[in-house]
Structure 1
């Protein structure tokens, strides 16, 4: 990325890699090989590390901006490396729908003193055909409810406003996302209050990669931990006899159930449990009322899929994973992934390792690792 693509590059701390995208790709692959070479050897991986590219611009479907006040009005801002603000006129990496809305909503805010006063942030979420704006205030939003409603109506958008302990919704806070997996168009309901894959195109590539790799596996039932709104479980359910997915967030679990229903998935059940709680339930170490609708003994799991937060998996979850014949590990942190693979290498070998570039011009990389059991612990 360079100033030809974004005038703020070099001052905004969001994008930090200024080389060509080809060079960025080579850098991320080289770093991965250096970090994981020992793990690959320990896990018997001799294959190619696949790399899935992203677009250089317009790829972010979720974006968060500070709002900076000066004598000329309110401006979008990002942080520099020293945390000081840098004014953002445009942002090259956001979805086109977000890019189009940004100047329109800012103009309306600057023209209305009530909307402008004590606003400190603006977030955007885009789906296939929709866009949602979220305004953040350091004052009681109930005092400007009419102005906020007028803003949403004038721009013909869905709008959320938040202040301490308060939330107003104009329109719908649920967006509809379409993703094609194995030539099948899936429709998901997504919410800004839950985890959303911030690069929809990369997410589609991730889903299709896992689907294609599992197509030739001997499969029975699938267990998924950290399922969110059902992103992977809904897409992969046709490959398995039965699927059981867990998620601790109540709102995400409710959306996941809706997503399964609206896509006609009949073999998928959800349980509102943390990964650690599910590990205890599966080993019959503890009973949970939230599992009364399920008979865990009826499942014959051949695969487990985990998509944990950046911190990775804790010890109880890793011990559970090691009992499964096949593991699909999706990771947003190569540091925690390496740590966890060092444990899983005791029982499993790596069969596939793929990189998905969610964010061009940054050091971030998403990884998907498939592992197969080679031995049982004594």
Structure 2
């Protein structure tokens, strides 16, 4: 990927070496981090070198009566106005510059606009959220509806204590994994994987590992909107998944219906609460209709935030035979492995390059409990 803003825009901080060299460097770094626990081969899943990002957020910079997209500078000294952004999906790129021109020619759309967020899919759906420092009125809504139709997008307007949804507040992503199509509603301002190409590979890897090493019923913690839960559910008879976000749980249940699945129980609970429930230390009304004693959980997948797992959750998942750990922060993964490798051994590990041109690494490890002789 080539970009005229390399070196000034803070979105891409590693740009001098070619993409393959960057990926090799990340693989070496992950191998070094995991070396106290695992010395085998790490499978690296590469990203497309450009047009890989399905989400993008820009500050709107106003200058001389015109406005443009701006990103924080690499040296953190302020913002730089950008004229291209080849990392975003083609669906976003094909609209963002037309959107900019339409905004600059329309005062009700431009007035006190301070940010624009894009969410796209591989099927060319785009949701645009426009952020304002003023109350949105009927004039804005009329102009925004015209803009929505012109760009073939969905638009949401937001200001303080105000949200206007012109059509839908979600887009529908589609992945084909293991010979089957999976569909996911992805909601505005909710977490979604940013790199759909790598996400598809990540789900495929997790399914392959679960099929080879999975035991008993399946449990997922930090399940989000079912990104892993839904495809993996076909490998197990019973599935239970937890997530603390009410919005994500709503999306997960919608995605179950969208994919015709009936063997998943999605429960809005933190991993700490789920631990207490499994240990019969506390009862929860949110578990009404779910008989935890009927589950013979043998396989667990965790995809925690950057802080990693808490002590209770590490103790809980250590009780299961097979652990799939997806990590967005290998440093906290290594900390958690100090506990998990007391009872389990790492069978294999992988690198998922969700964020090319940055030092960020996404990792996956599969741990199994050694058989008792």
TM-score when normalising by structure 1: 0.94
More off after superposition, 149-158 vs 275-284: 149-158
Please list every run of at least 4 consecutive aligned residues from structure 1 whose deviation after the TM superposition is greater than 4 angstroms.
none
Q: Determine the C-alpha separation between the residues in 1 that align with 2:285 and 2:21.
A: 53
Q: How far apart in 2 are the matches of 1:91 and 1:321?
A: 41
Please state how far the C-alpha of 1:113 moved relative to its aligned partner.
Answer: 1.5
1:338 CA drift (Å): 1.1
Map of 1:206 onto structure 2: 202
User: 1:71 corresponds to which residue?
Assistant: 64
The residue correspondences of 1:175-214 to structure 2 (distance < 5 A) are 175-214=171-210
What SS class does the counterpart of residue 216 from structure 1 fall into? helix
Q: CA deviation at 1:375?
A: 8.6
| Cross-structure match for 1:113 | 107
Gaps in structure 2 of 5+ consecutive residues: none
Q: Say which of 95, 102, 110 aligns to 2:96.
A: 102
2:42 is aligned with 1:31: no
| Structure 1 residue aligned with 2:11 | 14
CA distance in 2, matches of 1:239, 1:265: 12
Measure the CA separation in 2 of the matches of 1:53 and 1:208. 14
CA distance in 2, matches of 1:243, 1:83: 48
- Residue aligned with 1:215, SS: helix
Q: Distance in 2 between matches of 1:154 and 1:33?
A: 49
Q: C-alpha distance in 1, partners of 2:214/2:174?
A: 29
- Whole-Å Cα distance in 1 between the matches of residues 195 and 152 of structure 2? 24
Alignment check: 8 A CA contact 2:213 2:322 kept: no
Deviations along 1:266-312, one digit per CA (max 9) or x if unpaired, are: 21111111111111111111100010110000000011111111111
CA RMSD of aligned residues (A): 1.5
Q: Does 1:155 align with 2:151?
A: yes
Inter-CA distance 107–240: structure 2 relative to 1 (3 Å threshold): same
Question: SS at the partner of 1:353?
Answer: strand
Of the three residues 320, 327, 333, the one matched with 1:331 is 327
Q: Is the 8 A contact 1:271 1:290 kept in 2?
A: yes
> 5 Å matches for 1:260-339?
260-339=256-335
- Report the number of matched residues: 368
Identify if the C-alpha distance between structure 1 residues 218 and 135 changes in structure 2 by more than 3 Å, giving closer, same or farther.
closer
**Alpha-carbon shift at residue 150 of structure 1 (Å):** 2.9
Stretch deviating more after TM superposition (214-223 or 285-294): 214-223
Q: CA deviation at 1:90?
A: 1.3
SS at match of 2:213: coil
Is the 8 Å Cα contact of residues 312 and 337 (structure 1) preserved in structure 2? yes
The whole-number CA distance in structure 2 between the counterparts of 1:25 and 1:231 is 24
- Note closer, same or farther for the CA distance 1:30–1:218 as it changes in structure 2 (3 Å cut): closer
Equivalent of 1:131, from 111, 126, 130? 126
Equivalent position of 1:360 in the other structure: 356
Determine the C-alpha separation between the residues in 2 that align with 1:33 and 1:303: 25
CA contact (8 A) 1:77 1:86 kept: yes
Conserved 8 A contact 2:219-2:297: yes
- Whether the 8 Å contact between 1:229 and 1:256 is mirrored in structure 2 is yes
Question: Any conservation in 2 of the 1:219–1:239 contact (CA below 8 Å)?
Answer: no
8 Å contact from structure 2 (residues 214, 322) kept in 1: no
Q: 1:218 to 1:364 in 2, by over 3 A?
A: closer
Distance 1:222 1:54 in 2: 29
